[in-house]
A and B are shown apart, each in its own frame.
Chain A
Amino acid sequence: MLTSKPIDSGALLMQFTAAHSAAGAIVSFTGQVRNHSAQKDVQGEVSVLHLQAYEPMTSDGIIAAQNRAYARWPLQGVKIVHRIGDMKPADTIVFVATAAKHRRAAFEAADFLMDYLKTRAIFWKKEITQSGYIWVEPRAQDYTDAQRWDNNLQYTYKDTL
């Protein structure tokens, strides 16, 4: 689930699709390292993004989020691979895939899992630029996105879709 090696999201998606050939819907999300800092006061391009996890708490938290997704949507499969350590711009930082009978459950569960990973997962992120480095915290929008799932505990999924 956590890896310090490059993530090949194309290969992961092929494996996931093959493993869930009976699913009517497969959704995948690939997150890439941006080359521009998200911080207003940082000039210059990001040369390295460093992501620190704390095991076993980081993996335990991701597994718990995955279990919440299984409890909430009728999923046939979930795959999460997250990079840690040093990355360069355009490197894949995260791959999330979900499989379900119908598309809405797959889309919503992938969205829910990404919101968890962006705000609540136990990671610390350091952007390194020519002018130094800065520890990055989630944007206000990331927290607002994550709260959507707290305020809507009922299924939005409809089996007829």
Chain B
Amino acid sequence: MVQLYFMGRLADLFGASLQCAISDKGLTVSELKRQIDTEFKTSTLQHASIRAAINDSIALDSASVNPQDKIVFLPPVGGG
């Protein structure tokens, strides 16, 4: 299971957090975005402006996600 968190407006659609079962082999950020979007019948996470952080570091779409990772999806920041 990976723990997913959704910040800003993404939480309106996906909820603030959820757990997601992934294969033991892991998958990429891009594959995880597709898996979640498919489940929620949306393409929101496919947008290039949506970044992901793995264990509190910004990750590329090609980065590997492993079970036990904490993944945070970040929409464009709004400024203070």
On A, residues with C-beta under 8 Å from B are 31, 51-52, 54, 56-57, 82, 93-94, 117-126, 135-138, 142
Alpha-carbon gap, A76 to B75, bound state (A): 35
Minimum C-beta distance from A57 to chain B (A): 6
Quick check: A52 and B7 within 8 Å, CB to CB? yes
User: Which parts of B46-80 form the interface with A (CB within 8 Å)?
Assistant: 53, 56, 72, 74-80
Quick check: A118 and B53 within 8 Å, CB to CB? no
Alpha-carbon gap, A56 to B36, bound state (A): 25
**Quick check: is B8 within 8 A (CB to CB) of the other chain?**
yes
Quick check: A138 and B8 within 8 Å, CB to CB? no
A54, A121, A142: most-surrounded residue (chain B CB, <10 A): A54
Quick check: B74 and A136 within 8 Å, CB to CB? no
Minimum C-beta distance from A74 to chain B (A): 26
18 extra interface residue pairs, beta carbon distance < 8 Å, beyond A121-B77, A123-B77: A31-B80, A52-B7, A52-B8, A54-B7, A54-B53, A56-B56, A57-B56, A118-B79, A118-B80, A120-B77, A121-B79, A123-B78, A123-B79, A124-B78, A136-B78, A137-B76, A137-B77, A137-B78
Alpha-carbon gap, A122 to B7, bound state (A): 10
Minimum C-beta distance from A111 to chain B (A): 15
On B, residues with C-beta under 8 Å from A are 5, 7-9, 53, 56, 72, 74-80
Quick check: B78 and A54 within 8 Å, CB to CB? no
Q: Which residues of B contact A135 (CB under 8 A)?
A: 8-9, 75, 78
Out of A54, A56, A57, A119, name the residue touching B79 (CB < 8 Å). Answer: A119
Quick check: B79 and A137 within 8 Å, CB to CB? yes
Main secondary structure of the interface of B (DSSP, over half): loop
Closest B-chain residue to A139, C-beta based? B79
B53, B72, B74, B77: most-surrounded residue (chain A CB, <10 A): B77
Alpha-carbon gap, A135 to B78, bound state (A): 8
A–B Cβ pairs within 8 angstroms, 27 of them: A52-B7, A52-B8, A54-B7, A54-B53, A54-B72, A56-B56, A57-B53, A57-B56, A93-B80, A117-B79, A118-B79, A119-B77, A119-B79, A122-B74, A122-B77, A123-B80, A124-B7, A124-B8, A124-B9, A124-B75, A124-B77, A124-B78, A135-B9, A135-B78, A136-B78, A137-B76, A142-B79
